[in-house]
């Protein structure tokens, strides 16, 4: 069954907020850049951030998990890094002195992995960690939002990931959300969307990012 969702400005980052404000790049989950991310980014802009939301799937988004799994196979780390590099280059070119990244699920994994390059000043990851095989020193402060019910590959369990971050000296803040499952912030595609948990996680993200990115 086809469950593709038309999205605005395919292949081009959506832009919100005032150029030169503290910058954020928001990285979508494996469903693609679905409509709920527009409201999320607009809310970040209202509290003072300049926000870019890249489209990693070049115009494709879905609400079907099987299609999302197929879309995921089209991505490469180098391709994602190139998109993120362009977004951060734009933000810094506009005058954003400090920049951060927010990622959801797959996007959270890429956000954490990319942040190891030292290119960002803060990272927020929803229901995502890094396994030992891709874990390196992460020099930016990290905020993790974790669902109560989730599945993790061996070596990527949150306790193990957080322990490695602490061993490296990475500042880490984490929050768990009672009664939630993976995808609780995705208001478009996830059957496990939890409005209250999503709102609380957003408020915590905004506060954390303001503390890390504002001059």
Three-class secondary structure of residue 153 per DSSP: coil
Helix (H) or strand (E) holding 202, with range, is helix 195-213
pLDDT, residue 100, reads: 98
Per-residue confidence (pLDDT) for residue 113, from 0 to 100: 97
* Residue span of the structural domain in which 165 resides: 14-213
Give the strands of the sheet with 142-149, arranged side by side: 14-16, 50-53, 23-27, 99-104, 122-126, 142-149, 172-181
Q: Is residue 4 part of a domain?
A: no
Average pLDDT score over the chain:
95
Structure tokens at 194: 């939890």
Q: What residues contact 72, with CB distance under 8 A and at least 6 apart?
A: 30, 106
- Which residue, 172, 194, 196, 199, is CA-closest to 183? 194
CATH of the domain at 58: 3.40.50.1820
Other CB atoms within 10 A of residue 136 CB: 12
Where does residue 175 rank: exposed (0-12), middle (13-18), buried (19+ CB within 10 A)? middle
pLDDT score at 208? 98
Closest CA to 183 of 200, 197, 164: 197
Query: Residue 9: inside a domain, yes or no?
Result: no
- The answer as to whether 8 is a domain residue is no
In a domain, 204, yes or no: yes
In a domain, 54, yes or no: yes
Region 124-143: mean pLDDT is 95
How many domains are there within the chain? 1
- Quote the pLDDT of residue 190: 83
Return the bridge partners of 185, or none.
none
Is residue 115 in a domain? yes
What's the pTM? 0.96
């Amino acid at each position: 069954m086809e469950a593709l969702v038309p999205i605005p400005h395919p292949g081009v980052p959506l832009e919100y907020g005032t150029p030169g404000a503290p910058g954020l790049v928001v990285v979508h989950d494996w469903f693609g850049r679905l409509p709920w991310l527009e409201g999320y980014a607009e809310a970040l802009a209202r509290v003072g951030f300049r926000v870019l939301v890249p489209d990693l799937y070049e115009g494709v988004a879905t609400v079907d998990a099987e299609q999302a799994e197929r879309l995921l196979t089209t991505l490469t780390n180098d391709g994602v890094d190139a998109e993120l590099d362009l977004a951060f280059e734009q933000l810094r070119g506009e005058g954003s002195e400090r920049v951060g990244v927010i990622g959801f699920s797959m996007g959270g994994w890429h956000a954490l992995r990319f942040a190891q390059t030292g290119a960002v000043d803060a990272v927020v990851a929803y229901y995502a960690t890094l396994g030992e095989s891709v874990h390196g020193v992460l020099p930016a402060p990290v905020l993790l939002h974790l669902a109560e019910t989730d599945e993790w590959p061996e070596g990527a369990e949150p306790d193990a990931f957080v322990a490695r971050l602490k061993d490296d000296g990475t500042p880490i803040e984490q929050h768990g959300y009672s009664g939630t499952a993976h995808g609780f912030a995705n208001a478009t595609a996830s059957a496990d969307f939890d409005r209250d948990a999503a709102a609380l996680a957003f408020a915590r993200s905004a506060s954390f990012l303001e503390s890390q990115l504002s001059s």
